[in-house]
Amino acid sequence: MNNMPKEKFKKIATFILVPAIFLLVGSTVYLNLAEQRAVDRSKLPEKVEMSKGFQKWITNLKNEDFDIEADEFRLVEENEIYNTKWMKIYSMDEPGVPEELDRVLLSARNQEHVVYSPSDRHFVDYRPESRDGYLQNEVRFYGQKEDKVIDARILDCSIRANCYFDRAYFLDNDVFVISEISRNIDKKDEISPPCDNTMDCEYTFKIHLIDLINNKRWVYESNPFMLILDEKIKEL
């Protein structure tokens, strides 16, 4: 090494160091981007936050003195939505199916807590009552998707948690949002002491983002807060 000319040594060092620097910088950038994507994914998606339905919903909550911001929602759950146990599928080629589809679509029209897709060919029914074989804590999805008619329990919540679906809206024909208020306990919790609607209980809001095409449901949850549900439920 002592006998190597200085110019040649400099060239070898540069040849080794420059790629190493680029590799280090590239790795740092990649890690930063990966971390940023992970952070962003944990937050409420922009397409939800900026939608007319969400803005109307959160503005109404603020007008009713809820201390709530879009930035506080965090991803807490991700699931598939379709379950053959809770859905029925009919072919449009079956006798009577197109007529039944038109009948059901018409019968649900103008019902409170029923929202239709932009195409008007399917709807989400989140009425807080028993109806058409569905319970008060179950959300029904019904309508035509291509050459099939789907009738499915798309979502449910815990009665023990005093759950209530307060709003639903479509972002497009295949993606929609349902908001839920419920006690801050696990959906399967059977141990926590009862706390009914007339009592001061700890609650959270949940935003359910449902994608029919990709068979996915993402759940984003707010910070907890104390509330007597009966005093606010009519304003939700």
> Which two structure tokens, joined as six digits, stand for 44?
């409420």
In this prediction, residue 183 carries a pLDDT of 97
Q: What is d(CA 150, CA 146) in angstroms, rounded to the nearest whole number?
A: 10
> Does residue 164 contact residue 182 with C-beta atoms inside 8 Å?
yes
Q: Is 164 exposed, middle or buried (0-12, 13-18, 19+ CB in 10 A)?
A: buried
> Does residue 181 contact residue 232 with C-beta atoms inside 8 Å?
no
pTM of the predicted protein model:
0.82
Would the pLDDT of 35 be above 60? no
- pLDDT class for 209, splitting at 50, 70, 90? very high
Q: Indicate the domain borders of the chain.
A: 43-235
In this prediction, residue 21 carries a pLDDT of 45
11's CB contacts (< 8 A; 6+ apart) are none
223's CB contacts (< 8 A; 6+ apart) are 68, 72, 204
- pLDDT class for 147, splitting at 50, 70, 90? very high
Q: E strand or H helix at 54, and its extent?
A: helix 52-63
User: Lowest mean pLDDT: which of 7-11, 68-72, 101-105, 225-229?
Assistant: 7-11
